[in-house]
Structure 1
C-alpha cells in the first residue's frame, strides 16, 4: 500500500503545503538563514530517512536546504514519499526553517532529433551520466535531465507560429502547480514574449528577445 502511487486528489488531501510535485517527485525548499541550521536540518532529515529506510536527495547551501523525495522504482508519488515529506516538514518547523515553495524549479533540456538512441551515449559521456531508457541521466543530480523531441512524430500540443530560424535545443522549466502564472509574469516583465498559452496550465511557450523558445511546465492538466 505504501508503494501505491497517489492520485492528485490524494496528494491534495495529504496536507503537504510545503511541497510541490515537480517532474513526478515531491520537492521542497526550506529557508534556514544560516549554515548551522541547515546542517542541523540535514542531519535530522538523515536520521528520519534512516528510520524510514527511504532516502531523499538534499542540496545544502548557506541559506537553504532543498529536498527531493521520490521512489526508486520510477515516476509517481507514493504514500511512503508523502509520509517522509510530512515528517521532514515537521523537522524543519521544529528548527525554525521557513518553507518557500515559490522558487522550486527543475530544468529539462529538450533536443529536437529523430536520432536520440544514437546520440544518447554521447550526451551521457559529455554530462558524466549514463543512458537510461534511451536518454542520458545524471544520478548525482548535478546537471539537468535531457530528453528527445522527435520532430517526425505527431505533436499533441497546439500549433505554434513559425520561427525564422531552426531551434533544436529548448528549456523545459518545471515549477509547482501554483507557480506557472507567476513565473510567466516574471518572464514577460523581463522582456520575454508569450508565444502560446493554448496548453496552459500544463505549459506556456515563451521566447526571448532573439526568438529562442522555452516552456514553463506544471503538473496540472496532464
Structure 2
C-alpha cells in the first residue's frame, strides 16, 4: 500500500528505527534532551528542512532541556509508513546533533467530562475554550498546545459541584466574547469579580475565565506591546513557512540562553508561540528579554497575532492538600512549585498544564462522596504504565477500576479524585481479537 498505508499504534512502534518514539493520545511523540535552547533550535531547523505533507507537518516544542516533536495528522491517531520514515529521519538528525532521546518522559494529558447531554455541554466548552470539534466527542486546541477535552456519556445525574475545575485565560476582549458565547450556549454565571468570572455549563461543570478587566498587557511600553500576560508572558507570530518559523525560533532560543530565562517556544506550520510559562514573567529578566524578542521578530518582518493565545490549567479542591498534592505529583511525574504558599505542581518539561490545589471545607461531605463528573486522562508510553501506577499507589492512591487493562486503569487520590492511566498501542489489536471472539 506504500507510504500511505495506515498503521496501528502497535505496528508503528514495532517498525524498525523508531525506538525513540511512542504513540500517545494523538500521533507519535519523541523527546530529545538538549543542553541549551539553541541546541534544541538546531533540531527544529533540521525538521523544518524536511519535506512533509502540509497536513502532517510536525509540531516542535523547544524547552530549556530539550525538544518535543510530534508527528502524524493533528487530532488523529492515524499513522502511516510515511510517518515511520519521518520518525527515522528526525531521530537520525537528532543523533547527528548529539541529542539523546528519552521516551520514558513522554506523556499527554486530556480532560474528560461525563455528561448527560453531550451536544449541549460540548457547545459550552467549545465556546469558552475557543477549541475546535474533532468528531462528536472531542474538542481540541487548534494550536495543539493545550490538552484535548473528551465528553463521555453519563448514566445518572451527579448534581453537586465537582472538586476539579478548569481555568482558562484569553486576551481580554476574547475572554469577554468567549463568556458571552458560552452563556449563549447554555452556561450560567456562578461568580464574577473585577478580574475573573466563573461559569458553569448546564450540568454544573465549572470554568474560571480570566481576565475580565483589561489587565493582560505589560503597560504602555511599545517595545513590549506584542506580549500578553495570561498567567505568564505570551506572544504569537504568524509565519508563511516552516523555515520562517525555524528562523524565529533560532533567534529566540539564543536570546533566551543569553538571558538565562528559558522560554517555551512552540513551532507550528503557521506560526510560533513564545511563552514564559506560568508566573515566570515575574522574573526581573523578563522585560528586557521580551523587548529583545519583539525587536527580533519585527526585524524578521513578522507581526504578532495575540488572538491565537490561550492558557489552561486545572484546579483540584481538597480537604487535606498535602497528600492529595503528593499523589498528583507522583502520578503525573510533575514537580512541586518551590514558592511559599503556592500549591502548584508543574510538568518539568512544561509541555502539559499546571495543576493547583484549593482548600475545601471538611464539612462538605456529600460533595466529597460524589464522584466527579470531570477526571484526568494521562496517556503514557506502554512500557511506562506500570511504573506510573506503582508511583501513584506508593503516594497514597488506589486502583478503583482495572477491567479495561491494559487499555487503561482508573486510580483515585486519597480523596477520590480520579485519573485514568491510558495506553494506546495494542488497543486496536485487542478490539479486533474481541470482535473475532464475539
Length-normalised TM-score, structure 1: 0.87
Residue 24 (structure 1) shift: 4.3
Where in structure 2 are the equivalents of 1:164-175 lying within 5 Å?
A: 164-175=369-380
Counterparts in 2 of 1:197 and 1:72: CA distance versus 1, 3 Å? closer
Residue 125 (structure 1) shift: 2.1
For 2:14 and 2:66, the matched residues in 1 are separated by: 25
| Alignment correspondent of 2:389 | 184
Residue 200 (structure 1) shift: 1.9
Length-normalised TM-score, structure 2: 0.46
Q: Is the 8 A contact 1:71 1:81 kept in 2?
A: no
Which of the two has higher C-alpha Rg? 2
SS at match of 2:48: helix
Over aligned residues, Cα RMSD in angstroms?
2.0
Q: Is the 8 A contact 1:201 1:220 kept in 2?
A: no
1:109 maps to which of 94, 101, 111: 111
Structure 2 runs not aligned, ≥5 long:
157-367, 428-438
SS at match of 2:116: coil
For 1:94 and 1:139, the matched residues in 2 are separated by: 32
| Alignment correspondent of 1:133 | 135
| Alignment correspondent of 2:3 | 2
Counterparts in 2 of 1:42 and 1:91: CA distance versus 1, 3 Å? same
| Alignment correspondent of 1:148 | 151
For 2:379 and 2:126, the matched residues in 1 are separated by: 22
Counterparts in 2 of 1:73 and 1:175: CA distance versus 1, 3 Å? closer
Residue 171 (structure 1) shift: 0.6
The size of the alignment, in residue pairs, is 211
For 2:12 and 2:144, the matched residues in 1 are separated by: 28
Structure 1 runs not aligned, ≥5 long:
154-162
| Alignment correspondent of 1:156 | none
Residue 9 (structure 1) shift: 3.6
Residue 187 (structure 1) shift: 1.4
